[in-house]
Amino acid sequence: MVGLGNPGAEFERTRHNLGAEVVELLATRRGQRLRPEKGTRAVVAQSRLHEQLVVLAVPQTYMNESGLAVSALMRRFRVPATERLVVVHDELDLPSGRVKVKVGGGTAGNNGLKSIHAHLHDQGYLRVRIGIGKPPGREPGADYVLHRPSRAERGALDVAIEVAADAVDVIALEGVEAAMLRFNSDTPG
């Protein structure tokens, strides 16, 4: 389970770091701390869930180089197929605060996903998408994702982070179909 974002204090709590925030929350829920993992370009926590190893990771590369860390993580932890990979990320094409689960697909302009596609050569991984909405007016998407949201929007995104973490847990415990049924309807829960 990989949460996308950018490293460094200047990017904390920005829209583009929501995926990383979800994985940090999941580690906290499991009583774990993310720590650097040699050779992966990521911070990692490992735990067991029903006798199965679960790896939580946040790349320490910039978003547009996420594929370097994801491919290294898949090798390091011998992930047999991309269907076992869950990537949590921000999504301009969803309303702010909306969470959806998806299998495969395009990048929707997300440079982290573009990098993952380029390194894995396979789009079949699972995604937990957190909506951040479209930028207002003519603000470029690249600028919008790197800014911190307003206090009101941040409140909605904090709720979405909790929901996204729940979606990841449902994927791990019940499977992607159950997560899609629960989180992709207009009234999740």
The active-site residue, picked from 16, 50, 117, 121, is 16
Known active-site residue 16 = yes
CA 101 to chain centre: 11
The amino acid at residue 10 is: E
Number of H helices, E strands in the chain: 6, 7
Token couple for 187: 């009234």
| Residue 56 main-chain phi, psi, to 5 deg | -105, 130
Q: Cβ atoms within 10 A of the Cβ of 42, count?
A: 26
The strand order across the sheet containing 2-3 reads 35-37, 42-49, 52-59, 2-3, 86-91, 126-131, 99-103
**49-72 burial: b if 16+ Cβ within 10 Å, else e:** eeeeebbbbbbbbbbebbbbbbbb
Active-site annotation, residues: 16
